[in-house]
């Protein structure tokens, strides 16, 4: 039997398994209708969903062949970016009613673009089921489930805006950045983003420092919205932390939440482990937000200290130093400097607990997971000259920072989008 039919049979088996689960749980089967539900993230069907995605991608590549996949496919993918960027910036999402439809002429008037251009843009977007004609030959447009999500979950616009207005232009400039700075893929001010937006200024903190300029306040607000939206995913929820590590075994420990922003993780842990105390550290300008966010019942157990994690750690001898999604923003030399400020303050037995992504071996994980995590690695490269890391990479980083740090292991339950990486200071 040919490989194409094998893939087709596997696709059918996965689809049947997913539909059987949806019927069992009385969940409507997703469609492209605007009011359709979204495919659930139920653990029982994750395997079938990943297998379905893998087989569909392989079948598509084989059906097209390398030439068509790389030429026609690339042209289409590039102009997905073109069209979605226009739809997002000119807010087609709100211009089309969530229920009902709108004529092309009225839509063009609302978004203030020529009607002929609106027709061209939507003709392309409809090939991705993003908006649809009300019927064949109709002169009216309606939402689909793909376009309606921009209305129903508006923070997704922040992700799209960040990706298309900051990351996409920087992607194109990665080769130029490498040539311009002699293949330096580590300095935070020598990334594709740096080349695109601040080539002539060598900021110490790279893109983060550029983001902090007053003229970029709207970018910061949009990025915060994008991160908040991502955290709403069950796989990224703070509540997963409880099942990933034996926090209760720490007893009456003091945990220093380095780069902890407004303190949300410390609040989550403080509520569950009343014997622990927490010190949230971030830049001075974050304190007002922390003070506003801190629940009054936690005033005595969660405090804030202004601190730059590249500077000397002011809290000496704490039982736990904790960082969540900090080190993936920095290349190894910079990440090692951050860790060294902590080891200089540690006592024998102090723990370093990192909450980070861990790249799986490419041959040990489903292809869609490998592709997504590898894409996040490219995101770090483009934006920050930083990286996502494998288990071996994390072990090497800890050794580079301080050989007295003893790697204790990685904890990551199935279905969770991040891991706990634990090390202990031997002294």
- Looking at the annotation, which residues are catalytic? 328
Question: By the 8 A CB rule, do 222 and 162 touch?
Answer: yes
Please enumerate, as own/partner, the contacts of 121-130 that have beta carbons within 8 Å and a separation of 24 or more. 121/83, 121/86, 121/87, 124/79, 124/83, 125/83, 125/84, 125/87, 127/76, 128/80, 129/32, 130/84, 130/87
Q: Which helix (H) or strand (E) holds 270?
A: helix 264-272
The Cα 17–Cα 48 span in angstroms is: 7
Compute CA 116 distance to the chain's CA centroid, rounded to the nearest angstrom.
Answer: 36
CA distances from 197 to 44, 80, 160, 164, 386 (A): 45, 23, 18, 14, 17
Q: Which helix (H) or strand (E) holds 392?
A: helix 391-401
Question: By the 8 A CB rule, do 416 and 402 touch?
Answer: no
Strands (E), 235-308: 254-258, 277-282, 302-306
């Amino acid at each position: 039997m040919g490989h194409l039919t094998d893939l087709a049979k596997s696709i059918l088996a996965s689809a049947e398994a997913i539909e059987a689960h949806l019927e069992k749980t009385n969940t409507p089967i997703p469609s492209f209708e605007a009011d359709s539900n979204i495919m659930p993230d139920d653990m029982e069907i994750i395997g079938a969903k990943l297998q379905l995605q893998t087989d569909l991608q392989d079948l598509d590549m084989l059906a097209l062949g390398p030439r068509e996949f790389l030429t026609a496919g690339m042209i289409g993918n590039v102009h997905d970016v073109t069209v979605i960027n226009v739809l997002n910036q000119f807010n087609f999402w709100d211009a089309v009613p969530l229920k009902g439809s709108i004529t092309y002429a009225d839509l063009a008037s609302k978004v203030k673009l020529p009607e002929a251009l609106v027709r061209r843009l939507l003709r392309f977007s409809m090939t991705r089921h993003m908006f649809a004609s009300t019927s064949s030959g109709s002169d009216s447009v309606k939402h689909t489930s793909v376009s309606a999500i921009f209305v129903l979950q508006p923070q997704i616009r922040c992700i799209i805006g960040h990706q298309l207005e900051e990351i996409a232009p920087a992607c194109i400039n990665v080769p130029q950045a490498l040539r311009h700075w002699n293949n330096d893929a580590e300095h935070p001010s020598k990334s594709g983003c740096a080349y695109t937006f601040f080539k002539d200024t060598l900021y110490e903190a790279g893109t983060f420092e550029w983001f902090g300029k007053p003229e970029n306040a709207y970018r910061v607000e949009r990025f915060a919205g994008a991160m908040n939206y991502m955290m709403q995913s069950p796989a990224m929820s703070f509540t997963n932390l409880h099942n990933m590590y034996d926090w209760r075994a720490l007893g009456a420990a003091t945990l220093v939440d380095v780069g902890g922003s407004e303190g949300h993780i410390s609040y989550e842990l403080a509520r569950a482990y009343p014997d622990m105390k927490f010190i949230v550290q971030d830049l001075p300008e974050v304190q007002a937000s922390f003070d506003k966010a801190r629940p009054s019942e936690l005033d005595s157990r969660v405090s804030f200290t202004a601190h730059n994690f590249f500077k000397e750690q002011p809290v000496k001898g704490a039982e736990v130093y904790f960082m969540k999604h900090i080190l993936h923003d920095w290349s190894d030399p910079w990440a090692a400097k951050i860790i060294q400020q902590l080891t200089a303050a540690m006592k024998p037995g102090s723990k370093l607990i990192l909450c980070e992504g861990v790249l799986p071996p490419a041959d040990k994980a489903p292809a869609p997971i490998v592709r997504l995590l590898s894409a996040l690695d490219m995101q770090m490269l483009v934006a920050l000259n930083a990286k996502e890391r494998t288990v071996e990479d994390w072990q090497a980083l800890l050794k580079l920072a301080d050989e007295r740090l003893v790697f204790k292991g990685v904890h990551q339950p199935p279905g969770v989008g991040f891991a706990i990486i634990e090390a202990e200071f031997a002294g």
